Structure formats: C-alpha cells, structure tokens
Amino acid sequence: MSGVPSEAYRIPRRVGFFGGSFNPPHIAHVLAVHYALLRWQLDFVVVAPTFEHPFEKKLEDFAHRLRMTRIAFDHLGERVHVSGVEEELPPPSYTLQTLRHLKTHYPDTEIVLLIGSDLVDELPRWRDSEILQREFPIYVIPRIGCTQGVSAPCDVDSPLFSSSHVRALLAEGKDVSPLIPARVLGYIREYELYKQVND
C-alpha cells in the first residue's frame, strides 16, 4: 500500500460555516474560528460577511467589510476561506439559503454551522430555524454567559466580545488596538470608517 493518501482522503469531510456582519471583524471573531478549527478538527472554515442583515441592522458597506474580513483571517491561509457568497444570493441574507447554496459546491461534505453562544437565544427568530437545525449541525462557540439549548457542546466560557462594543469605542475615539487585528485597524483608519455608532 502506498504511503500517499488516496483522493478520497483529500476531499474535505467537515467544513464549518461562520457567518456574521463582521462590522468590523475583530480579534474575537478570529479567536472563535481558531477555537472551532482546534475543537472540532474542521477541514476548513468558510467565513462569510452578511450582505444585507435580515433584522435590518445598519451595516458598513459590504465591500469594506469583505476586504477587512479577508485581512483579518489572511494569516490562517487555506484553513479559512473568506467568501462573498451572500452578495450573489437574493437579499436579505438568510443562513439556511446560504448553507444550501454552499452544499451545492461541497456535495460530499458535512457543513456545520458555527455560532457564538450569545446567539443561541436568538436562534428561534431566524428564518426557518427548525428546518435549519434539522438540515445542518450547529456547533456553539462559547462566549461569556454561555447558553445551552442546541445540539452542540458549549463547555467553557471565553471573553469573546461583540462588534457593537468595538464600534462604540471607535465612534468615541478610544483605543481599540487590543481588540482589532492591526492591519484591520489600519484599514479602518485609512478609509475613516465607523466615525458614528451603527445600531
């Protein structure tokens, strides 16, 4: 038997999907994906900024958010694929339609949805939430105030903060360098983003 793996072993077997506004992407987002890659041995994670938020939250321009997200995850190389897929789909951005679309590109792969534990209580409000949970496994990335209730482990608390907290600090002109990757912060300053708080 050859020591070279067969083609079957090169096909991704489990891919994580990590969606969000990324408004802006910050260190907690990056840590969350690191956690998922290590915790669940995913082949890679698809990271996808929301094109148009289904709850009508005000977002920075999609092109800026997509570029910043690519900058934030660039160091992870092939372990993370930052995708603009939601720009190609009918707005607003519903997770179920995005995952079904991705499944057509990875038909022989298990796609799992990665969410922060802070979103577990919000999950019932998502479009077709029950169908989503039937069709796709949900893995919960722990945050402060970890919530149980879906079919995934949520075993520790971790200090993963929110984009709204970062935006508020940016709007107030406070130092956010401990919270945002340096190159992303440089991009925000170059394009003068987040001068006002976005709700």
Q: Digits of tens for pLDDT over the chain (199 positions)?
A: 344 444 444 556 899 999 999 999 999 899 999 999 999 989 999 999 999 876 667 889 999 999 999 999 999 999 999 999 999 998 887 999 999 999 998 888 999 999 988 888 889 989 999 999 999 999 998 864 444 444 444 333 444 567 888 888 898 888 988 889 999 999 999 999 998 644 3
Report the pLDDT value the prediction gives residue 186, as an integer from 0 to 100.
95
Report the pLDDT value the prediction gives residue 56, as an integer from 0 to 100.
63
What Cα–Cα distance (Å) separates residue 122 from each residue in 147, 150, 173?
11, 12, 30
- Cα gap 179→173, rounded to integer Å: 14
Report the pLDDT value the prediction gives residue 137, as an integer from 0 to 100.
96
- Looking at every residue in the chain, the average pLDDT score rounds to 84
Cβ contacts of 95 within 8 Å, gap of 6 or more: 19, 113, 126, 127, 132
- pLDDT tens digits along 63-72: 999 999 999 9
Output the pTM of the full model: 0.81
Report the pLDDT value the prediction gives residue 146, as an integer from 0 to 100.
44
- Cα gap 79→73, rounded to integer Å: 9
Amino acid at 39: R
List the domains of the chain with CATH numbers. Answer: 11-190 (3.40.50.620)
CB atoms within 10 A of CB 12: 13
Which strands, in side-by-side order, build the sheet including 14-20? 80-82, 44-49, 14-20, 110-116, 138-141
Report the pLDDT value the prediction gives residue 12, as an integer from 0 to 100.
62
- Which residue reads 């401990």 in tokens? 178
DSSP 46-75: EEEE-SS-TT------HHHHHHHHHHHHGG
- Cα gap 64→70, rounded to integer Å: 10
- Which residue reads 């945002």 in tokens? 180
